[in-house]
């Protein structure tokens, strides 16, 4: 800007000189200068002024040429900045449009998720309440199962006792049956004795009868013997009668004994059946006790599991409520981002319009055409910086092969095809060094990050930034040369 102000001052001085010399004889040279100045005023800065003559005219022409050179450089700088502004604003406009659309989509998604999270939170609360009720019911079942197990164990214990008592009763009944059997055997033996006594009594009675007969034959001499014989006969009769009574009593005892044996046998059979039933009952009760114990254990485990599930669901419900709150916050933040994106889009549009206004304002200026589009080149390499930062922040995955070298990017291809036309430009040759460093650093950054070496990658990013700044500085210098 200072150069432009000074240039306008020089033009004013030149017009003063033209007015001064107009009164002299050099009007022809003045006319040439006037035409050149008019051409410069109309923007033809590529003009090379050659003023013939002597005195001050050649000097004035030289000053005008220098003025055109300075103006041309300033306008090239303006055109380069305008090109950069145009490219960056265009990229910003595209990015803001895409970001706005993405933000709108994200808002729609987060809104859907927020609604779903609220519904899920309500469902989780209902499930938590149901699980709490289920846990209570399972706890009640567990308590009842424990009581049932205790009762069944008591039944099993009593069944075992009853089984032992029945077994003892069977043993006692068998003993009683043996005893009664022994009594029957003894009665039979007594019957044999009574039969023997009866036989003896019959024989005694027969002897007494014979003695009586003999005593009667003996007459008076046998009277004493007859008395004894009668006594013996009477005793034999008593013995026979007693023996008959004993036989009848023994027969009654035998019948009673046989009946007792039959009853005891029936009792033994019944008790044996009861014992077998008690054993079956005891086995069934034992199995039931075992099954009940397993059921009780399973119900206890189920109760613990239900309690854990209930706690997990309660925690999940709390987390889900927090997620719902966070999703709502994300949704609101996304809405704000959308609004900011729209603002950025409008600002980018205004910058783009301003760039076009600036381009139109200097479009009539005739300067040397640019040798390359500096705005596109800078924007392309700025985009590499953006992508690398996304990689380092973990927002983007990139393979090292996706990073082009300095020969295969758009600027590198242009550079390789046109470098023969800049053999005399040391700046053009030096430009390859920072450009190569930019692409080499980018490759190393991606490689180091993929090798899980983030610190080294960040250090290499600083080298990338340094090389990029040097590249842009040399691009500006080459653009103005």
* Pair 388, 296 in one domain: no
pLDDT tens digits for range 340-390: 777 766 766 776 676 676 666 666 665 666 677 787 888 888 889 988 998
In a domain, 93, yes or no: no
C-alpha span between 13 and 59 (Å, rounded): 13
Residue 338: alpha-carbon gap to chain centroid: 31
pLDDT above 50 for 173: yes
Question: Domain tally for the chain?
Answer: 2
pLDDT above 70 for 427: yes
Q: pLDDT value at position 457? A: 94
Q: For the chain, how long is the longest CA-to-CA vector?
A: 239
- CATH number for position 207: 1.10.287.950
pLDDT above 60 for 288: yes
pLDDT above 60 for 249: yes
- Find the length of the chain: 481
pLDDT above 60 for 22: no
431: containing domain: 371-481
pLDDT tens digits for range 50-93: 655 555 556 666 776 677 667 767 766 666 666 666 667 676 66
In a domain, 31, yes or no: no
Claim: this prediction has a pTM higher than 0.75: no
* Pair 378, 305 in one domain: no
In a domain, 295, yes or no: yes
In a domain, 122, yes or no: no
Q: What are phi and psi of 454, to 5 degrees?
A: -65, -35
Residue 321: alpha-carbon gap to chain centroid: 17
Containing H/E element for 29? helix 27-41
Q: What are phi and psi of 44, to 5 degrees?
A: -85, 85
In a domain, 62, yes or no: no
Containing H/E element for 201? helix 57-218
In a domain, 212, yes or no: yes
Q: pLDDT value at position 435? A: 95
Residue that terminates a domain, selected from 315, 330, 361: 315
* Pair 222, 301 in one domain: yes
Residue that terminates a domain, selected from 293, 315, 337: 315
Listed residue (77, 94, 92, 88) closest to 375, CA to CA: 88
* Pair 270, 189 in one domain: yes
- Name the range with the highest mean pLDDT among 15-29, 108-122, 140-154, 449-463: 449-463
In a domain, 380, yes or no: yes
C-alpha span between 51 and 377 (Å, rounded): 41
pLDDT above 80 for 468: yes
* Pair 301, 393 in one domain: no
In a domain, 338, yes or no: no
* Pair 438, 293 in one domain: no
Helix axes 410-418, 432-450, angle to 10 degrees: 150
Residue that terminates a domain, selected from 274, 289, 315: 315
* Pair 278, 378 in one domain: no
Q: pLDDT value at position 60? A: 67
* Pair 405, 480 in one domain: yes
- Predicted confidence band at 5 (pLDDT cuts at 50, 70, 90)? very low
Task: Mark residue 394 as left, alpha or beta (left: phi above 0; alpha: psi -120 to 50; beta: remaining).
Answer: left
- CATH number for position 408: 1.20.120
The percent of residues above 90 in pLDDT, for the chain, comes to 13
* Pair 199, 267 in one domain: yes
Cβ neighbours, 10 Å, residue 284: 12
């Amino acid at each position: 800007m200072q150069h432009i102000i000074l240039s306008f001052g020089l033009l004013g001085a030149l017009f003063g000189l033209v007015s001064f010399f107009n009164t002299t004889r050099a009007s022809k040279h003045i006319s040439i200068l006037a035409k050149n100045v008019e051409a410069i005023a109309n923007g033809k800065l590529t003009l090379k002024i050659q003023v013939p003559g002597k005195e001050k005219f050649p000097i004035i022409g030289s000053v005008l040429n220098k003025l055109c050179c300075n103006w041309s450089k300033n306008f090239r700088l303006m055109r380069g900045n305008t090109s950069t502004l145009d490219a960056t604003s265009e990229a910003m406009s595209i990015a803001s449009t895409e970001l706005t659309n993405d933000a709108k989509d994200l808002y729609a998604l987060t809104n859907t998720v927020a609604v779903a999270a609220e519904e899920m939170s309500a469902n989780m609360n209902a499930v938590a309440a149901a699980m709490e009720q289920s846990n209570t019911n399972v706890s009640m079942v567990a308590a009842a199962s424990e009581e049932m197990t205790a009762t069944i164990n008591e039944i099993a214990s009593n069944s075992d006792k009853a089984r032992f008592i029945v077994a003892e009763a069977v043993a006692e009944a068998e003993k009683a049956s043996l005893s009664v059997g022994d009594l029957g055997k003894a009665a039979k033996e007594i019957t044999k004795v009574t039969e023997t006594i009866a036989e003896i009594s019959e024989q005694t009675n027969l002897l007494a009868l014979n003695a009586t007969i003999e005593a009667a034959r003996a007459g008076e001499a046998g009277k004493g013997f007859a008395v004894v014989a009668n006594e013996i006969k009477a005793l034999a009769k008593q013995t026979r009668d007693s023996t008959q009574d004993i036989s009848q009593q023994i027969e009654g005892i035998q019948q009673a004994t046989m009946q007792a044996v039959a009853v005891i046998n029936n009792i033994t059979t019944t008790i044996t059946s009861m014992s077998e039933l008690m054993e079956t009952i005891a086995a069934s009760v034992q199995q039931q006790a075992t099954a009940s114990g397993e059921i009780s254990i399973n119900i206890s485990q189920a109760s613990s599991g239900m309690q854990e599930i209930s706690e997990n669901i309660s925690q999940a419900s709390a987390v889900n409520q927090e997620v719902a709150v966070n999703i709502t916050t994300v949704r609101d933040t996304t809405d704000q981002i959308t609004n900011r994106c729209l603002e950025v889009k409008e600002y980018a549009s205004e910058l783009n319009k301003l760039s076009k206004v600036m381009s139109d304002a200097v479009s009539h200026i005739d300067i040397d055409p640019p040798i390359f589009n500096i705005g596109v080149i800078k924007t392309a390499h700025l985009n590499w910086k953006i992508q690398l930062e996304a990689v380092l922040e973990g927002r983007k995955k990139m393979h090292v092969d996706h990073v082009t070298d300095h020969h295969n990017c758009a600027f590198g291809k242009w550079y390789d095809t046109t470098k023969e036309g800049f053999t005399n430009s040391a700046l053009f040759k030096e430009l390859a060094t920072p450009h190569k460093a930019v692409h080499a650093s980018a490759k190393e950054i991606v490689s180091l990050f993929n090798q899980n070496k983030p610190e080294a990658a960040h250090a290499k990013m600083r080298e990338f930034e340094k090389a990029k700044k040097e590249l842009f500085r040399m691009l500006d210098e080459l653009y103005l040369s």
